[in-house]
Structure 1
Amino acid sequence: MQLFRKSFLFSIVIALLFIVSACSSDSQTESKSNGQQGEENLEPKSGGVLNVGLASNINTLDPTKYTGAYESQVIRAIGDTLIAYSKDFSDFVPSLATEWTVSEDMLSYTFKLRDDVYFQPGEYQDGRQMTAEDVKYSLERSVNDSALNRLTGVESFEVTGEFEVTMHLTAPNASILAMLTDPGNIIVPKEEVEGWGDQFGSHLVGTGPFQFVDWQTDQQVKVERHENYWGETPYLDGVVYKIIPDPNMMTNAIRSGDIDIATNISGQNRAVIEQDSNLELLSVPGLALTYLDLNYQSGPTADPKVREAIYKATNVEEIAQGVNQWGGGSVSYAPLPQESWGYSEELESLKPAYNPEEAKSILAETDYADGFSIELYVLESRVPYATIFQNQMKENLNIDVDIKVTEWGTLSTIASQGNAPMYIGGWSWYPDPYFFLNQTFHSSQIGSLGNGKGYSNPEVDALLDRALSETVVQEERAALYQEAIAIIMSEYARVELDNLHQTAAIRPNVKGFNVAVDPSIQIVSPNGTNVWLNN
């Protein structure tokens, strides 16, 4: 056995260090500082309720059923995972597990657990102690039921002590520790899950710093301090997550003081925030992509020639520049963010050049030479992308794009079931390419939101599988992923739009908060984050 810091994932940790150093240097130029974060002599204060704006509705808080970053923000406040990322994503830090070891064959991980962890009181238990049996139950539930397969490649879990559990893998898995940091893998009590049944997603109970209080559909979710929390006591009395889909309303809400943290600040609202001396815009290059998925199984886009014509008739530069003219994003060239260690500038040559005349000729070879009508599903916050794309399709290919604006729950259901002819999505996760490529292009993900388009290619599957289990050397894994990307791009499976920054706006009384390269909103975390209000 060998301690986790000497495990085979050492190469990945080094890669993360490289990513974070690049991101942090950029953030110095992108984040406006008005001194709010520099008041180092202030002593943290306890008390107060933090109001956070979320840009889309919440569909469920069940960790195995959630599909959106919006939902994960609340889940991570209520629950804990075995391990967590450090603030700068350069390493993993203990959470519910105090330490972990990996076997010589890299097929077994043994986690030693804290013995002072207690669940929040719920309807079916009164705040009992967490044990290894709870870890086994929760992670088996994730393996079997996760809507986005957030824990894969696991053969079984074995309780090896009251506060020790061993995870056995089917094959060496270079991404397994990163998977365990996902909010979909928080530890929950069996009594609450089985007691609530299908309603557990509306009554989440975990071990985290805050406990669920109330959920007003389409409006807000309220949590309050978990008084028996095992970690550093939260400074805040509670947090209210307010649902504000309209970007302008989000900006108005933080300017008026209705919320303390505004998320998903983009477009002209970035300039509005930057010009407001009472606010601070935090913005760092992120592990976030926006793309337009084309249905691979049905409708006009099942024809590869139609997909090729659409991509070559899409002026991606115009879309990216139009949507991000105030900063916060750049052209995306591949289905992998530039901040991932698997990215290479050589991938940029794979992006189809904008050529509407060639696109017309290609479409003329299909049954849709005269154009057609097609639905495009989109969240309200991404309507600007859809509008520019709609105009381009009409002008270049005589395609009538019917924009269907919908809320998150509806969009995720329609898209994951393969019922969206086209939809504009966003994807943000961890630096490992696995979370972008396996999750959105592997045929095993068909039926999930990531691969709702129904993309399937055995050669791509094989490359993605090899990158996960054949090698742990970063350069070798990157080469396999890049080979898979070349095939994916040649089949025009989706249109890559932009690579986004992670952004937030905060009021001057918010202390200890920073944006991460992933989409997480961290309020209290084992990595040392503990947000407070200087009221």
Structure 2
Amino acid sequence: MPPLITSRPALGRRDLMRTVGTAAIASQFLPSMALAQSAISDELRIANEETPYGLDPVHEYSAGYLRSIGVAEGLLRLTPQGDVDVDIAAWFANAGPNAWRVGLRPDVRFQGGKPVTAKEVVASLERTRALSTYGANLLKGISIDAEGDLVVRFSANRAIPALPQILTDEWLMIHNAESFGAKDNSFDVGAADYTGAFKVATFNPRVQVVAERNPKYWGETPRIARIVLNEVSDPDARSLAALSGEAHIVRSITAESSARIQRSRTSRLYTIPSTDCAAAYLNIAKEPFSDVRVRQALAWSLDRDEIVNVSYNGLARTAPSWLGTNVAYPEARRVGYTRLDLTRAARLLDEAGWTLASGGKVRARNGKPLKFSLIWWGGGKPTAELMQAQWAKMGAQVEVLGSPDYGLLDSLRSAGNWDVFVEGWGTDGDPESVLSRHVAADGDLNYMKYNDAVMTDLLKGFETLTDAEDRRVQALHINQRHADTVPFIPISSRARLNAVSTKVHGYVPHFQWWQYEVHSDLWVSS
């Protein structure tokens, strides 16, 4: 078993180059290779820009990553084609417009050995509802009841046609509620009791997770004995981990490094299809963003084609509107900010009182300059710097700050000390659940504190809609209202590039890469 790493390794680009790349990265994956030609065929090593923040599914940024390494499972799952399929469930069936029944496999057990019955599933989901804001939003108004030992009934006083999609969500991973306890219990390895093919052996938050094959797994025994997931926040370090062979799967390769990966004999480059929409989130509670004309001006003054070509080497799609990156909504590409329009942007700013003096470079209102900060994280620096230059053309002075680590953005946002930040979220799934996260007054991703009466009514409209096409059209109405009020500015999809070693077999790209990667037929040759 790999030892628990007790400190975060420093993996800066210069350090890596100074130690000839491979040796520097090797410390991140001890004791897997020790730089000898003795690759262990039963171990899979993954490098990602971040690791789970905790082991409890109610903890933010945790459950999806645990599912991706085979630790956690849900009742249902999404296939790479986007279809809903069973996971630990045996079947699911509609029981009328307001109800669904889900049947359980009789042989599923938690990793600690406890049988997974309908009672345990209800306890798991109710614990998530009680301790997770987003879990509560997903299950809002839905009653969950056990029908005997092997059937769970979901019902509501309104139509819930999208329940199967909802049950695939990463926040609804089935876990042993009794083992985790009544509060968030993210750092106790002994309490982490899921149903997956791998069980957490060691956990060092934001550094490393080691998961070992679960001997009590109900399904097909995986070929791999051990998964090691390491956090490597520096993008150059991740690229070198792929090129050197120290990591078998490297997530989030930058566009700048993609050509080197494609030329290498050690790795294959996968472009993961994505419905993510990277956007500039605006602090609309403060000036100048409280004025919708300023928000619209900022949106019109972005050159999205330049961002896609420069930041992503053309491997992304522009997002003229929020749903514009999702192929399920082709109409959304004709809505919103479909082109660069500096003339319209200037007119809007003039109307809002932000004027440009003759010969000046920065607009001002009542002697106050149009000045704000823009925060990036991960590999977002090139995009942020392009936005800085583009907004300067229409008279904004933008300070760019950020870090490959998510911590800086998280701390500034938690303290309310932010103006604009860039982040991307998926738009696939049940539209009511997905869109509400961002624009419902109580949405868990509504960082802007956006509260719009028209939007609230549009979201409420989902309650009476059961037909999939009707719900899709309602989502387009919400997309239009978002474009009009623009609490955050859509920019583009995010090109997700993964490097996979040629020694890895059975790798299946998935558009929800953060949830689905490890499976029983995935293996590594020696």
Asked if Structure 1 and Structure 2 have the same fold, meaning a TM-score greater than 0.5 normalized by the shorter chain, the answer is yes
Q: For 2:441 and 2:349, how far apart are their aligned partners in 1? A: 27
CA shift, 1:287, in A, is 1.7
**Could you list the per-position Cα deviations for residues 128-175 of structure 1 after superposition, in whole angstroms to 9, with x for gaps in the alignment?**
222222111111122233243462334322122122221222321232
Rounded Cα–Cα distance in structure 2 between residues aligned with 1:81 and 1:212: 17
Give the conservation status (yes or no) of the 8 Å contact 1:96–1:113.
yes
Asked whether 1:144 is paired with 2:130, we answer: yes
Tell me which residue corresponds to 2:273: 285
1:357, distance to aligned residue in structure 2 (A): 4.0
Shift of 1:431: 4.3
2:323 alignment partner, SS class? coil
Tell me, in whole angstroms, the C-alpha distance in 1 between the residues paired with 2:523 and 2:142. 42
Superposed displacement of residue 49, structure 1: 1.0
Equivalent residue for 1:404, pick from 402, 405, 409: 402
Q: Structure 2 counterpart of 1:101, which letter?
A: A
Partner in structure 2 of residue 336 of structure 1: 323
Letter in 1 for 2:315: G
Alignment partner of 2:348 out of 358, 362, 366: 362
Contact 1:288 1:502 in 2 (8 A): no
In structure 1, the gaps of 5 or more residues are 1-45, 122-126
Partner of 1:257 in structure 2?
245
SS in 1 for 2:289: helix
SS at match of 1:331: coil
**2:56 corresponds to 1:62:** yes
Aligned position for 1:482: 476
Once superposed, what is the RMSD of the aligned Cα atoms?
A: 2.5
Match of 1:295 among 272, 283, 292: 283
SS of equivalent residue, structure 1 residue 78: coil
Pairing 1:166–2:159 present: no
Task: Indicate the residue corresponding to 2:91 in structure 1.
Answer: 99
Maintained 8 Å contact 1:315/1:392: yes
Q: What is the distance in 2 between the residues matched to 1:49 and 1:67?
A: 24
- Call closer, same or farther: CA 1:339–1:155 in 2, change over 3 Å: closer
CA contact (8 A) 1:172 1:469 kept: yes
User: 1:533 maps to what in 2?
Assistant: 524
Residues 91-128 of structure 1, C-alpha deviations (whole Å, 9 max, x = no match): x2222221223222x2222222122222223xxxxx32
Q: Which moved more, 1:159-168 or 1:502-511?
A: 159-168
User: Which segment drifts farther, 381-390 or 92-101?
Assistant: 92-101
> What's the CA shift for 1:221?
1.1
Name the CA shift for 1:386/1:332 in 2 (closer, same or farther; >3 Å): same
Q: Which of 238, 241, 246 is residue 229 of structure 2 equivalent to?
A: 241
Higher mean C-alpha displacement, 430-439 vs 295-304: 430-439
Q: 8 Å contact 2:52–2:66 — kept in the other structure?
A: no
CA gap of 1:483–1:477, structure 2 versus 1, over 3 A, is: same
Name the counterpart of 1:120.
Answer: 111
Matched, 1:470 2:482: no
- Aligned equivalents of 2:517, 2:221: Cα separation in 1: 12
Match of residue 182 from structure 1 = 169
413 and 193 in structure 1: CA distance in 2 versus 1, 3 angstrom threshold: farther
Pair 1:420-2:413 in alignment:
no
Give the secondary-structure state (helix, strand or coil) at the position aligned to 2:186: helix
In structure 1, the partner of 2:389 is 391
Shift in CA distance, 269/227, structure 1 to aligned 2, threshold 3 Å = same
Query: 1: distance between equivalents of 2:169 and 2:450?
Result: 24
Note closer, same or farther for the CA distance 1:47–1:277 as it changes in structure 2 (3 Å cut).
closer
Match of 1:315 in 2: 303
Structure-2 residue corresponding to 1:514:
508
2:52–2:65 Cα contact (<8 Å) kept: no
What do residues 218-238 of structure 1 show as CA deviations (whole Å, max 9, x unaligned)?
321111111101111111111
Partner of 1:110: 101
1:273 aligns with 2:261: yes
Secondary structure of the equivalent of 2:147?
strand
173 and 311 in structure 1: CA distance in 2 versus 1, 3 angstrom threshold = same
SS at match of 1:401: strand
**Residues 163 and 418 (structure 1), Cα distance of their counterparts in 2 relative to 1, 3 Å cut:** farther
Superposition deviation, residue 345 in structure 1: 3.5
Unaligned runs of 5+ in 2: 1-39, 356-363
The CA distance in 2 between the partners of 1:434 and 1:489, in whole Å, is 17
Contact 2:268–2:500 (CA<8 Å) still a contact in 1? Answer: yes
Question: Partner residue of 2:377?
Answer: 379
Confirm or deny that 1:85 pairs with 2:78: yes
Q: Which residue of 1 aligns with 2:181?
A: 194
Q: CA deviation at 1:435?
A: 4.9
% same residue: 21
Moved more, 110-119 or 434-443: 434-443
Residue 492 of structure 1 aligns to which amino acid in structure 2? V
Q: Normalising by structure 1, report the TM-score.
A: 0.82
Q: Distance in 1 between matches of 2:405 and 2:67?
A: 19
- Tell me the SS of whatever aligns to 2:106: coil
Aligned match of 1:441? 439
Q: Per the alignment, do residues 170 and 414 of structure 1 end up closer, same or farther by CA in structure 2, a change over 3 Å counting?
A: farther
* Contact 2:424–2:494 (CA under 8 A) maintained in structure 1: no
- For 1:147 and 1:408, how far apart are their aligned partners in 2? 20
Deviation of 1:485 after TM superposition, in Å, equals: 1.1
Q: Which residue of 1 aligns with 2:65?
A: 73
Distance 1:190 1:477, change over 3 A: closer
1:455 alignment counterpart: 450
The 2-side partners of 1:340 and 1:148 are apart by 25
Q: CA separation in 2, counterparts of 1:402 and 1:280?
A: 33
1:303 corresponds to which letter in structure 2?
D
**Aligned counterparts of 2:299 and 2:67: Cα–Cα separation in 1:** 37
Supply the distance in 2 between the matched residues of 1:158 and 1:459 (Cα, whole angstroms). 35
SS at match of 1:296: coil
Name whichever of 433-442 and 260-269 sits farther off.
433-442
| Native 8 Å contact 2:209 2:230 kept in 1 | yes
Q: Is the 8 A contact 1:282 1:514 kept in 2?
A: no
Q: Does the 8 A contact of 1:254 with 1:261 survive in 2?
A: yes
